[in-house]
Amino acid sequence: MDATQKGFARRAILGTFCFFANAYLVGFALDAVLSTIDDATWIVNGAGASPLIRNIVAELVVIGAPLALLLCLFVPHLPKRVLVPPALFALWCAIGAPGTAGLYDTAAQGSWLRIVFPLAQLALAVLTFRTLKAKTGAWFLASKNLPPKDHLVLRTLGATAIAIVAVPVFLALWLVAGATNYLEQKTDGFLKFTWSGIETHERVLTKDGKSVHLIGMMHLAEPQFYEHVFGEIPPKALVLAEGVSDRQHRLSGRLSYEGAAQALGLVQQPGLASKSAPAATAKAPPSSETAKPSTEVSDTGAVIERADVDVSDFSPITLKFLDDVVTIYGSKSLGEAFKRVADIGSRYTQPDVDAVFKDILDKRNATVIAAFDRKAGTADPVYIPWGALHMPGIEAALVERGYKVTSSRAIPLVHYFGAGKKAGGESAPEAPHS
């Protein structure tokens, strides 16, 4: 093959790569334009302009992002500063834009904050094409404008070695980031994952001089977290306690987190009445209009009212699901637990999952809010230390009743590298959530 033929082959191969790179850049810019128009229209009219087309383009951009990164890795001629930023931005948005929990939560759906990400993407698209123009002299990539590169075989071998190591690591980090950001969004920021550990948030809502403390909880944490949270509840405060009972023995076993807590070096959430008592011993009466929740006094003098349901209030599918969860926590090994999780996932349809979450979230939230309505006129302050996933619904119900968020603070739950010295967080004013 003479020099002319080699040059033609080079231009043909690079031309193909340039075509795919240009297609990705155009798709990224088109996605930015459609997203901006769609969100702006949604804010004004309450409905998007072209959600179907926007979603199709967005999915193609996300699918093309890892391919664009691999293209940069294996084709050194392509300008990385042009292709890498849009690809990383697309992947970042695809997992929910970690670090920005709250901008896209339910409470902000009608806010102008909704349009921040599309505008940022549009600005990045404009910057990308301006960079491309400044670097190559053209608005689009062309093989004739790409610089020649030496030692292509060695570069390819190096790129292959990097891909073998980097791709699995990247995928693992991407999945972890997506899962943590999903939890942050689902809890409306009550649960957050930082570089040093996991923290929960306490929000104080007030109305007519009375306050309600919402504290996002987890069943597993460091012991000083529970000591700090429970120890701060003042005497005579009303605590609406979480804790599903099984008065009729409808479940096949006892749901306990003790094994998982020991494996992770943590403790299971203790009971409110006595900080040393396991939470699983707490029993609550069934949810009904005639049954009054039992009350008791904690070690600190706070009045604890059981404000949760009995499992007999759940649907048959939820009872079956809870029985399956009991078997997971009863697994003798991590491999057995994962196998049971996979088996459960294959046996429940989406309507089944919706019914389960309606019971364990919506029905229980309604129960605690009903208890709050009965006591709101006479109790102050009120503490609601419930699971973090319950917090958005409970907070929304309180806001509907005229309460406003006046302060918020972070409280460490778990430190990745050992227990921290300080359990409490700093309080700070916070804008109202709705």
pLDDT digit string, tens, across residues 47-65: 556 677 888 898 899 999 9
DSSP state of 109: T
Furthest-apart CA atoms within the chain: distance in Å: 94
Q: What is the pLDDT of residues 202-228, one digit of tens each?
A: 999 999 999 999 999 988 899 999 988
CA distance 272 to 278: 9
| pLDDT value of residue 276 | 38
Residue predicted with more confidence, 93 or 155: 93
Tokens 């987890």 belong to residue: 218
User: Which of the residue ranges 147-151, 210-214, 347-351, 407-411 would you say has the lowest mean pLDDT?
Assistant: 147-151
Residue 290 buriedness (CB in 10 A; 0-12 / 13-18 / 19+): exposed
Non-local CB neighbours of 395 within 8 Å, separated by 6+ positions: 188, 203, 205, 214, 405, 433
Tokens 């907070």 belong to residue: 395
Non-local CB neighbours of 428 within 8 Å, separated by 6+ positions: 407, 408, 409
pLDDT over 90 percentage in the chain: 29
Token pair for 171: 């995928």
Inform me whether the pLDDT recorded for 94 exceeds 70: yes
> What's the whole-number mean pLDDT along residues 77-93?
89
Residue predicted with more confidence, 277 or 269: 269
Q: What is the pLDDT of residues 315-370, one digit of tens each?
A: 999 999 888 888 877 777 777 777 888 888 788 888 888 899 899 999 999 999 99
Inform me whether the pLDDT recorded for 279 exceeds 60: no
Residue predicted with more confidence, 101 or 243: 243
| CA 100 and chain centroid, separation | 10
- At residue 362, what is the residue type? D
- At residue 403, what is the residue type? Y
